[in-house]
Chains A and B, each alone.
Chain A
Amino acid sequence: MGKVKHNSLSIWGRMLLYLSIMGPGIITANVDNDAGGITTYSVAGAHFGYSLIWSFIPIVFALIVIQEMCSRMAVVTGKGLADLIREEFGVKVTFYAMVVLVLANIGNVMAEFSGIAASADLFGINRIVLIVCCAVFIWVLIVKGNYKSVEKVFLVACVFYVAYVVSGFVTKPDWNVIVSETLKPRLQWNKGYLFMLVGIVGTTIAPWMQFYQQAAVVEKGIKLKDYSYHRLDVIVGGFVVNIVAFFIVIVCASTLFKHGVRIETAKEAALALKPLAGPYCYLLFAFGLFNASLFAASILPLSTAYSVCEGMGWELGVNKSFREAPQFYSLYTAIIIFGAAFVLIPNIPLVKIMLFSQVANGILLPFILILMLRLINNRRLMGDHVNTKWYNLIVWCTVVMMIALSLMLLMPQGIFQR
């Protein structure tokens, strides 16, 4: 029937087409700014002022390059990442990757629920009530919804990230300093600064994102001929997420750093903002934290259950009944309950749990990236859509940088802090 030529479409037609394809890229990128991300960015802004904001430029680049590969694989093969890993590298590689992924993601989910708990404290709501409500909401949303309706909810959640951009303007930062710091970075060669840098990169690019993004693109059924529009989705997503992160750093830098306030968590950041930037900024910040945590907590358990069932060859999907897909539902439900219940235990060392999940993420990421590179350069799978030489060079550099940074993230925490 021949390919439909989109060149013949008017500019409005193309806009419409883009809007219909939009979703997976932007959602995945935004989930990135979850509770852990917001904490890291707040601390970075509060402790180092504007001196780290230059790093968002290379991060945007790396994020887009990696996410683009996932999308391309999804569109060309029509299969999820776990599927492809199982089919090309066998059961052993898949099994161990999935074990680490589950551990890392349980940690991530706990971090999200602790973000919800923190925002409950900030709003003055009972944290037990809010956590239980959110857990039930997440479970029902996915089990009773379908991909299309869920995607709409998620896209709305993306809009709420504007809260951070608004609060960025509310604090009236010094734009001249920001521009000069972004374009002419002044690197500091001390341990704290480098450690923070690694943290920012680590929270922005996580293993589960690759699985989620690829699954979402497959589920959406995007065709190869529409791929250029989807690539735009990935690029826009990459920019949006980093702009939000950028503003979180600015908020904290222009208030907390200026007054020399030290913080450890996003909750402390919000509390410290109240006297310095006013109640509106405080509310916006708290709302942003709640939105981000809930958003990420909805996606992580689902993404994990999907990947594991895909890799192990179990029935999966929210349109199946429990009897048809018992492993899928058990895993999905267990992760939510586990994540929510753990946070409710009094005196639980949440900071250590988050640390643990970051370590698991850090171990897994290099492996996943290397597997992805081997998959995307496999001509049998990708045909003519393998990476070009130059693209490969760029990706390898990115991957090597990511691996080096992940290892650095593991070293000081895993070894030196004991």
Chain B
Amino acid sequence: MGCSTVGVVVLVTGVARHLGARFVAELRRRPGVDLVVGVDVQPPKRPAGEPAGPAGPLAPYRFHQLDLRRPAVARVIAEHRVDTVIHLSVSATGLGSTHRSAVKESNVIGTMQLLGACQKAPGVRRLVVKSTTGVYGSAPRDPAVFSERMQPKDQPGGGFAKDASEVEGYVRGFARRRPDVAVTVLRFANIVGPQADTPLSEYFALPVLPTVLGYDPRLQFVHEDDAVAVLCRAAAEPEPGTANTGTFNVAGEGVLLLSQCARRLGRPTLPLLLPAVSWIAGLARQTRLVDVSPEQLRLLTHGRVVDTTRLRETFGYRPAFSTPEAFADFAAAQGPGLLPPERLAAATDRLAGLLGPDRAAVTPAVTPAVPNRPRRPRS
């Protein structure tokens, strides 16, 4: 199985979601991929794997609707002689049921079943698991920048982050039992993009963003294009001089503060005391208005930043979008906020124009003809 171009059959879990669907589409276009098998509990909303891009030779695609919590996946792996498994269905929110215990079961039990099936399949050569930087938690007493080798002082107490760290634990166990399988764990920062459906985008869609008074967390984002590209790289044989097995943090370069995000989105913030925010988040969760989990609240209080040196130097991938660029792409797809940044900029520019060197020539009647006034991008 030395060469990547011979007989590659890829199993992808979690294809009903946006990222999974995009990844399948991209994977089918790759040369050397013979068959892509997608599994999920639901059929994809839009026909998965129908790439919108330039037509070219596409690898065939099969979809199996099955629940990962049941051992049916073993049959699929055996039937198609899968050699590469991409496990994307470790997710913060459930597809069918949004009940926390069901989500946890699907994350943890689903992974255990999948790993069990992989262990019994001698043909499996490569396993890629999507995890989250949430495994580092968010706490004030932790180092400012997490590298892959660091352990958080406070282990995630519950929620998706705990699922992800349990999943990673099982994956490490699998890697010990099957040393012949190349195992890659990708810890993604918050994935954003024009269409990415991550839990944080629900928060940023609020007209007024409640924030925790006295905290301005540092956030990192990764663009969905980069997420797909990283997954593709992890699914293939490593390029010379790089290695794609092991654990890697995946995030765009740079950092945005929550206050910066709000200003760039044009959303006013409403700083509240931490207990009040917790109470509101609980209320919103119960009334199903917005799902802000306790761990997300911790992220929005203390923030989290990871070091991506290993991604760039060992894995050999430099994200095309930095954190601010990824966020800008996300913000452009959002509706206008109450305080559009262009308008604020125009107002200060107008004031500055009035104070400029040719102030004498500026009279109120010709105010609109203020020099150096940039065209507003939205017109």
Q: Are these two chains actual partners, yes or no? A: no
Binding site for A on B (CB under 8 A): none
Binding site for B on A (CB under 8 A): none
